[in-house]
Amino acid sequence: MSNLVKGRTGDWEVVIGLETHAQIVSDAKLFSGAATAFGAEQNTQVSTVDAAFPGMLPVINRHCVEQAVKTGLGLNAQINPVSIFDRKNYFYADLPAGYQISQYKSPVVGKGEVVLDMPDGERRHIGITRLHLEQDAGKSLHDQHPTMTYVDLNRAGVGLMEIVSEPDLRSAEEAGAYLRKLRSILRYLGTCDGNMEEGSLRCDCNVSVRRAGETKFGTRAEIKNVNSIRFVMQAIEYEARRQIEILEDGGSIVQETRLFDAHRGETRPMRSKENDFDYRYFPDPDLLPLELDPAWIEGLRRGLPELPDARKARFVAELGLTPYDADVLVAEKSHADYFETVAAGRDAKLAANWVTGDLFGALNRLGKEIEASPVSAPALGELLDLIRDNTISGRIAKDVFAAMLETGKSAGAIVEERGLRQVTDSGPIEAAVEAVLAANADKVAEYKSGKDKLYGFFVGQAMKATGGKANPALLNDILRKKLSA
């Protein structure tokens, strides 16, 4: 197993489970009618229900329930027809009610899985333990004032899906792959936008280690609220090493909650009172059990978009793409959609090369998302058509593409304007080749006496003479004939 970590006294296995909090895409909050949009002025998206004023009561948002069920279906998970909302009781400045409405013993979604295709070709099945609905808390700002913390409740009450993985991950790399895959599924479904910088996706990492071959789990530490995939991987690596060092020195791991300090690349313990681990869960008496109609669930299942795994399989089976190319294209739904538009009725492999190579390269350079691509999918398709029908060569197409990016004009317009049509008439090509051979009689003689490398020189000169527009295959044909004459 390549995932083992070498310690001083032997090999160690790292065991990781991830709890991901995904903010639900919805207009209003989970239990109130306040807005959820990111970036509003503090406390301008707060209902008296969110602020837990006296006498306020929760009413659940149907759309949030739908989003959770759709996510469960996308994770191939068991949808529980009856689930219960519980209160999780604890005191914190950004938790106005002194409790969070969550789900404890009876979540809305049960066991499922996420499939990872690792770069070494291995296929890993990562179990999902459960998914439940809960409220997000507000935001505490500790750095605005020397002695005061400032509280903004805009985020309080926004719907979250907590997605818990089984402790099936065995490396930081796998954890990264899992998060990327999960994020991709959520974005395909439209149930979470996966924007980790804005906090729509946050991850708590449970990390423990054990000696290679050991079957019992070691004591784990929980690293809370890591907000980028890169940091998750760093935090896991740091924590694994930290724990291995402690155990090799004969110490033991304290089960505790830790934070990841991104500046130092370290995890450190959180300062919370021990007592607060008693959340005193009980069913929320302001709500009733959530009962889902099987027909309604079926309806949601039928309405699901094609998900990454299925789309990848289809790209490989029906469009003949390599698994690697398919993987790259399906990672983001918008990319896959773009590609399919380009590939429709065309050579899929050619389309894949242009999209993953030229287009993605250009977008990276320009710092743009595909939604803002200067070259639309139909426009790129038109370019590929011009290659296929021999109007231009593949080489010229690259120049045309560059011009399309710059000017926003269509491929056809640029080819016409700049006179880039490929020369497919043998007449002008023959003339060009004859002229080159005539002007370089000495090199012709050298070639004929064995200097094969000069062939490329003749190609280059002839191509230049045609302004780069000679059809390469035809030019080769004519040149060979003339040289062997």
Partner 1 sequence: MALDRTIVARIATLARIKVSDSELDALAGELGSILAWIEQLNEVDVSGVAPMTSVAHMKLPMRDDKITDGGDRDAILANAPQEARGFFAVPKVVE
Partner 2 sequence: MSELTRLTLSDARDGLRAGEFSARELTEAHLDAMAASRALNAFVTETPERALAMAAASDARLAQGQAGLLEGLPVAVKDLFCTKDILTTACSRILDGFKPPYESTVTQKLWDSGAVMLGKTSLDEFAMGSSNSTSCHGPVENPWRRRGDNRPLVPGGSSGGSAAAVAARLALGATGTDTGGSIRQPASFCGVVGMKPTYGRCSRWGVVAFASSLDHPGPIARTVRDAALMLQAMSGHDPRDSTSAPIPVPDFAASLTGDIRGLRIGVPKEYRVDGMPPEIETLWQRGVEWIKAAGATPVEISLPMTKYALATYYIIAPAEASSNLARYDGVRFGLRVPGASIDEMYENTRAAGFGAEVKRRILIGTYVLSAGYYDAYYLRAQKIRALIARDFAAAFERCDAILTPTTPSPAFALGEKQDDPVTMYLNDVFTVPADLAGLPAISLPAGLSDDGLPLGLHVIGRAFDEETVFRVAGVLEGAAAFTAEPGR
Closer to partner 2 at the Cβ: 57 or 372?
57
Q: Which of the listed partners (partner 1, partner 2, none) does 45 bind, with a CB threshold of 5 to 8 Å by partner kind?
A: partner 1
The correct pick among 77, 97, 153, 379 for binding partner 1 (CB under 8 A) is: 153
Amino acid at residue number 103: Q
| Residue 201, binding choice from partner 1, partner 2, none, Cβ under 5 to 8 Å by partner class | none
Select the binding partner of residue 44 from partner 2, partner 1, none (C-beta < 5 to 8 A, by kind).
Answer: partner 1
CB of 237 to partner 1, least distance (A): 23
Please tell me what DSSP assigns to residue 143: S
Site stretch for partner 1 (CB under 8 A), options 12-20, 36-44, 235-243, 349-357: 36-44
Instruction: Go through 197-215 and write b for each residue having 16 or more CB atoms within 10 A of its CB, e for each that does not.
Output: eebbbbbbbbbbbbbeeee
The site for partner 1, by CB under 8 A, has a size of 56
Nearer to partner 2 by C-beta: 90 or 455?
90
Q: How far is the CB of 273 from partner 2 (least distance, A)?
A: 7
Nearer to partner 1, 281 or 457 (CB): 281
Does 271 interact with partner 1 (rule: CB under 8 A)? Answer: yes
Q: Give the span between the Cα atoms of 94 and 97, in whole angstroms.
A: 9
Query: Nearest distance from residue 286's CB to partner 2, in Å?
Result: 5
SS3 223: strand
Is residue 44 a contact residue for partner 1 (CB under 8 A)? yes
Judged by beta carbon, residue 56 or residue 297, the one nearer partner 2 is 56
Phi and psi, residue 99, nearest 5°: -155, 155
CA distances from 391 to 34, 241, 397, 411, 474 (A): 57, 59, 10, 11, 13
Contact 32, 216 (CB under 8 A): no
Task: Assess 63 for contact with partner 1 (CB under 8 A).
Answer: yes
Out of partner 1, partner 2, none, what residue 99 binds, judged by CB under 5 to 8 A for its kind, is partner 2
Q: Which residues contact 140 (CB under 8 A, 6 or more apart)?
A: 92, 93, 94, 149, 150, 151
Binding residues for partner 2, rule: CB under 8 A, are 48, 51-60, 87, 89, 91, 93, 96-99, 149, 151, 273, 278, 280-282, 285-288
Nearer to partner 1, 114 or 151 (CB): 151
Query: Is 474 an interacting residue with respect to partner 1 (CB under 8 A)?
Result: no
Of 287 and 444, which has the nearer Cβ to partner 2? 287
| Token pair listed for 389 | 């029908």
Tell whether residue 34 is a contact of partner 1 (CB under 8 A): yes
The one among 26, 165, 410, 422 contacting partner 1 by CB under 8 A: 26
* 100 bridge partner residues: 88
| Structure tokens, 394 | 């593949």
Type of residue found at 246:
I
Stretch of residues binding partner 1 (CB under 8 A), selected from 63-71, 242-250, 294-302, 402-410: 63-71
Residue 366 touches which member of partner 1, partner 2, none, C-beta under 5-8 Å by kind: none
Q: Is 443 exposed, middle or buried (0-12, 13-18, 19+ CB in 10 A)?
A: middle
Burial 16-51 (b: 16+ CB within 10 A, else e): bbbbbbbbbbbebbbbbebbbeeeeeeeebbbebbb
Q: Which does 253 bind (CB under 5 to 8 A by kind): partner 1, partner 2, none?
A: none
**Helix 394-407 and helix 411-418: axis angle, to 10°?**
110
Site membership for partner 1, residue 55 (CB under 8 A): no
In the complex, least distance from residue 353 CB atom to partner 2, rounded to whole angstroms: 56
Is 448 within 8 Å of 440 (Cβ atoms)? no
Contacts 24+ apart (CB under 8 A), 92-96: 92/137, 92/140, 93/140, 93/149, 93/151, 94/137, 94/138, 94/139, 94/140, 94/151, 94/152, 94/153, 94/156, 95/137, 95/138, 95/156, 96/50, 96/51, 96/52, 96/138, 96/153, 96/156
Smallest separation, CB 33 to partner 1 (Å): 3
Cα maximum dimension of the chain: 100
Which CB sits closer to partner 2, 60 or 316?
Answer: 60
Min CB(19)–partner 2 separation in Å: 20
**Cα 87 → chain centroid:** 33
SS3 19: strand
Which position among 149, 252, 322, 334 is part of the footprint of partner 1 (CB under 8 A)?
149
Q: Which of 13, 22, 23, 32 binds partner 1 (CB under 8 A)?
A: 32
Residues 6+ apart with CB under 8 A from 349: 320, 321, 325
Site membership for partner 1, residue 2 (CB under 8 A): no
Minimum distance of partner 1 from residue 91's CB (angstroms) = 5
Q: Which does 52 bind (CB under 5 to 8 A by kind): partner 2, partner 1, none?
A: partner 2
Q: Is 124 helix (H, G, I), strand (E, B) or coil?
A: strand
- Site residues (CB under 8 A) for partner 1? 26-28, 32-35, 41-51, 59-65, 91-93, 140-142, 144-153, 259, 270-271, 273, 275-276, 278, 280, 283, 285, 287-291
